Amino acid sequence: MDDADLDEVDSLEGEHGKLRDFRYGDARLRELSLSGTQLMDGRVTGLTTQRARLDELRLHSVEFSGCDLSGLHWEDSKLSRVTFTDCKLLGAAWEQVTLDDVVFERCRLDLAAFTGVRATGPVIFSSCSLREARFSAADLSDVAFNECDLHLTEFDGGTYRGCDLRGNDLSGLRGVSALKKIIIDRSQLQDLAEAFAAEQEITLG
């Protein structure tokens, strides 16, 4: 995406609920509230908010980089061909969000809650921190986690067929029993055994 082809905007609301070919950068907001908006072919950089609530959004080909959206509440939306790079999303709540070709790279997602999130296309978490994050009733089929911090990351129900957890330390996971039909390396079996033992409060004599 070439910046020269994008129009600088001072709001993400758009005209008639649609915004296309845009660039929105370096805004510091007390509150961001968007509902029923379509964002297409755009770039959001350096956005900082103290509070954000997003619902019923449709995003296509949108890049977020260097943003601090900690504490955001995002629900009932679909993200397609969206990337988050070097973003802070601490404590973010994602509810009933559909992800299709979405990449999180070097993002802070500690304490985030993903409830009813569904992956319908490729989704990758690469070099992200997901400490104490929780996935509840999520469909993470074929999602890939690569070199992520998964300490005390919890999986509570859901579908994980083909979820690729290779290249991660799994010893600190919670909810191991929910992770049916995932993909791991043979060397990670010990990690899962440690996680299972801790979860079941098993004592080794």
Q: Output the pLDDT for position 2.
A: 62
Task: Tally Cβ neighbours within 10 Å of residue 190.
Answer: 11
- Give the pLDDT of the chain (205 residues) as one tens digit per residue: 667 778 999 999 888 889 999 999 999 999 999 999 999 999 999 999 999 999 999 999 999 999 999 999 999 999 999 999 999 999 999 999 999 999 999 999 999 999 999 999 999 999 999 999 999 999 999 999 999 999 999 999 899 999 999 999 999 999 988 999 999 999 889 888 888 777 777 776 7
pLDDT at 203: 73
Structure confidence at residue 191 (pLDDT): 86
Strands 7-8 and 18-25: parallel
